[in-house]
Amino acid sequence: MAASSSIRTYIPIPPFLSPRNPQSSLSSSLKLTSPHFSPSSKPLISSPLSPALPLRAATTSSSTPSPHTPTTTFHGLCYVVGDNIDTDQIIPAEYLTLVPSNPDEYKKLGSYALIGLPAAEYPTRFIAPDETTSKYSILIAGDNFGCGSSREHAPVALGAAGVVAVVAESYARIFFRNSVATGEVYPLESEVRVCEACRTGDVVTIELGLGRLINHTTGKDYGLKPIGDAGPVIEAGGIFAYARKAGMIPSLAA
């Protein structure tokens, strides 16, 4: 398990979950997570609080990192898109009757992720014809990713399809916000234009704490901009968990 987890995802310990009492903090963290996110549908985590327990245990047992340096690492194949990918390409409007908070419809949304990309430009499809999730866990994009209609279905569809992080040059505001609020995907910004330096199918690693994107296929390494104020919210597991932590809203009654 240790070997497999080393090439997979480490789950950071959110600073507010004291490592002193891992049992109780774990149960409270489980209570905060969205019950509809089925862990089996996502081999790589979507948010730090997803209940991938063995991996979390693996991190806890290693030397304790500084609480403010997330040790999160994402590793997988990348799918590369260009500039101004709008939400209608991420999840076309005809699928918006699907309600993301309904578990079955959540999965269905994932199966349509990026189906709106024109086939001529993207002959390799994000989701293979007879699959419901994608083998690509990291999405690499150009400028203004997620522009257009504000549908939250967009980051949700990506998350449901198995994407853990997007690395783009820049984001449309509402897409960025929805990614943070839902904790579905990490919306990371690259320092340089990586969408022209990476190709679909390249093996990449994101070192969140170090702010690096490493492309193992080409052997190149790129800087990522700090996630800033959004970091603590994603780390907490979305806006609800963050607000509970800050005492703004009460904890859920059991």
Using CB under 8 A, list all residues that contact other proteins: 34-36, 84, 88, 92-94, 96-102, 143-144, 147-153, 155, 170-174, 177-178, 181-182, 229, 233, 238-240, 243, 248-249, 252-253
Q: How far is the CB of 155 from other proteins (least distance, A)?
A: 8
Location of structure tokens 């994402």: 74
Q: How far is the CB of 237 from other proteins (least distance, A)?
A: 11
Report the residue number, 130 or 229, with the smaller CB distance to other proteins. 229
Which CA distances in Å does 163 have to 24, 56, 131, 139, 237?
Answer: 29, 19, 14, 7, 16
Q: How far is the CB of 152 from other proteins (least distance, A)?
A: 3
> Which residues, 6 or more positions from 227, have their beta carbon under 8 angstroms from its beta carbon?
186, 188, 208, 234
Q: How far is the CB of 92 from other proteins (least distance, A)?
A: 7
CA angle, residues 30, 33, 39, in degrees to nearest 5: 85
Q: How far is the CB of 41 from other proteins (least distance, A)?
A: 18
Report the residue number, 34 or 73, with the smaller CB distance to other proteins. 34
Report the residue number, 7 or 248, with the smaller CB distance to other proteins. 248
Q: Which amino acid is at 226?
A: P
Report the residue number, 147 or 213, with the smaller CB distance to other proteins. 147
Rounded (10°) angle between helices 153-161 and 103-111: 80
User: Pseudo-torsion of CA 23, 29, 33, 39, nearest 10°?
Assistant: -40
Report the residue number, 152 or 202, with the smaller CB distance to other proteins. 152
Location of structure tokens 């089925």: 38
